[in-house]
Structure 1
């Protein structure tokens, strides 16, 4: 730093001393609105340095006012912060009213003065996603990415996955979801998004594998989870039957826990698809089990 300062001083000295030694200070001529202004080169350099110094002083003074904890600085910050908070409050009411487009505009407007810029952009992105304005949502995510801190990345990725699922960018969404499942395997929102993604991808086995944790965490009510469970298992049975490999379907079935093997709905679905695959013997065994259980329930 000292070396740079010395070089800078030497250059300035050269500008002044050179012309003085040569007894010729040179000249600088300016023509402004038909007015001709002429001065020595040394005078021009002095005025230029003086102007830069004044600009520097104004810059320092302006920053000091804005950063001051008193008077104008405090008033300016407080005023801006209050306006941002008011906009955020209005946007939240808009969300509750279902006016997603206006909510997104208010969140975006509040971003510059808000205490957390990333949060405002993420809320705007989420409002656009809820309103199916996916291009605008992506623009807000790009803005949020520029200001996102390490402790905000988790929320950023959740919003990102929601957008990717809406856009049917399943490969990208799966990459993000699997990383989130490794980092936060018991987070309810991660599990819900994973469940939604795997259903839309038709990866019913992945949905089945998530269900035990979803029951423990209570991601949904037990009745809802029971419905999801039944849908996933029947869809998986159908999926395996479409492969026209009865042995793969039978092997998968035998690997399931007893609670699944003794479930009437699953037994009926298995029997139906086994008959379609020509596995009448296995189908008849299941149907016999179904009849036995139904008779026990009647008595």
Structure 2
């Protein structure tokens, strides 16, 4: 811009001064050693203007000459970048259509020149995993994790692929460091919950459920289903240490959890397995005071007690209930059998199997018939029980 303004200024001066100097042109003499050059002022001004433009042309040519290498490099760089974009696009299409070998080749080949190499490495890792190429997959994942923005995306993909390959512990190892920086990331937490479930890390899963519900990543129904899966498994783990750790854990649970019939029944089953029948009977009676659920009633006959009367008295206090009548009769009949009140047990168990047949009741009925030496009828009951378990 400055050069154009200078040129316009010179032209304006020439147009203004030219007519005034036409009759008095004057001259300019330049002496250089033995050489002397003379010319009019107008001619000198013209030579100066032409010399100025000559210098501009020379500057332009020199600039173009020295920038030729840079522009050549830029041209090749742009060409490589354009090819990388085309390969990446074709790679994604191949991945989407299941051509994993082609997808891996294209993604990996264009990663170095891609504008977003992280996406290329992630795509190549998915394609390699789909082909069962574990080493290649891990190599691509390492490249992705080394990218400044790749820790979360790479970690999530690594964990998801590990879960797909039934390696939940490896998936947890990938996600644990990420939780310190992304404690509320929805996708990370959901994947972490799946990995804990697959790995059978029940207490960690139990501890995570309130956060998942608070962030609305799980519905209350889904939380309840996971609780009914995680707590019984946790009870089984604690039972390996004995009945007291299990009872301490149960007492430490929140009241709404202890009121869940499925969890109470699961805890009682573990206590019965540990031969802690008195503790199991206490938990059962506490639960049966609230409701006579079949899950609790079915455990009454499995108890081995010195005194069944408190439990039997509680069951006898219930009024008729069409929905749970069979389970109630079965529980009372089995307790009477253990108390050796055989006539009463026979009456109750026969009513129970009429309403809802079950193998345990048929087995006891068969034993009662044997005691009366009614072997044909005993065989009938035994056969009926076997048919239910077949």
Match of 1:197 in 2: 195
Match of 1:91 in 2: 91
Query: Comparing 248-257 with 111-120, which one deviates more in the overlay?
Result: 111-120
Match of 2:328 in 1: none
Report deviation, 1:103: 3.0
SS in 2 for 1:114: coil
After superposition, give the CA deviation of every residue in 1:111-132 in whole Å (9 maximum; x if it has no partner): 1331111221122113333554
How far apart, in 2, do the equivalents of 1:176 and 1:187 lie? 15
Match of 2:123 in 1: 123
SS in 2 for 1:270: helix
Match of 1:157 in 2: 155
Residues 1-299 of structure 1 aligned to structure 2 (within 5 Å): 61-67=68-74, 72=75, 77=78, 79-145=79-145, 148-149=147-148, 151-162=149-160, 166=165, 168=167, 170=169, 174-220=172-218, 222-241=220-239, 243-295=240-292
* CA separation of 1:274 and 1:119: change in aligned 2, threshold 3 A: same
* CA separation of 1:290 and 1:94: change in aligned 2, threshold 3 A: farther
How far apart, in 2, do the equivalents of 1:287 and 1:145 lie? 53
Structure 1 contact 125–141 (Cα < 8 Å) conserved = yes
After superposition, give the CA deviation of every residue in 1:216-236 in whole Å (9 maximum; x if it has no partner): 234355544433332111211
Report deviation, 1:195: 2.1
Query: Comparing 257-266 with 282-291, which one deviates more in the overlay?
Result: 282-291
Query: Comparing 86-95 with 279-288, which one deviates more in the overlay?
Result: 86-95
Structure 2 contact 145–155 (Cα < 8 Å) conserved = no
In structure 2, the gaps of 5 or more residues are 1-64, 294-320, 325-390
* CA separation of 1:92 and 1:286: change in aligned 2, threshold 3 A: farther
How far apart, in 2, do the equivalents of 1:234 and 1:59 lie? 78
SS in 2 for 1:278: coil
How far apart, in 1, do the equivalents of 2:70 and 2:251 lie? 73
Structure 2 contact 94–100 (Cα < 8 Å) conserved = yes
After superposition, give the CA deviation of every residue in 1:237-295 in whole Å (9 maximum; x if it has no partner): 11211x14111111111111122111111111111111111221221233234444444
Aligned length: 232
SS in 1 for 2:88: helix
Report deviation, 1:185: 1.1
How far apart, in 2, do the equivalents of 1:258 and 1:281 lie? 22
* CA separation of 1:136 and 1:224: change in aligned 2, threshold 3 A: farther
After superposition, give the CA deviation of every residue in 1:179-208 in whole Å (9 maximum; x if it has no partner): 222211111222133223333433210111
What's the TM-score once normalised by structure 2's chain length?
0.51
SS in 1 for 2:184: coil
Report deviation, 1:152: 2.8
After superposition, give the CA deviation of every residue in 1:83-131 in whole Å (9 maximum; x if it has no partner): 4334333333444444444433332233133111122112211333355
How far apart, in 2, do the equivalents of 1:211 and 1:199 lie? 11
SS in 2 for 1:286: helix
Structure 1 contact 244–277 (Cα < 8 Å) conserved = no
* CA separation of 1:221 and 1:97: change in aligned 2, threshold 3 A: farther
* CA separation of 1:96 and 1:234: change in aligned 2, threshold 3 A: farther
How far apart, in 1, do the equivalents of 2:90 and 2:286 lie? 60
Structure 2 contact 168–198 (Cα < 8 Å) conserved = no
* CA separation of 1:233 and 1:169: change in aligned 2, threshold 3 A: closer
User: Which protein, 1 or 2, shows the higher relative CO under an 8 Å CA cutoff with sep ≥ 6?
Assistant: 1
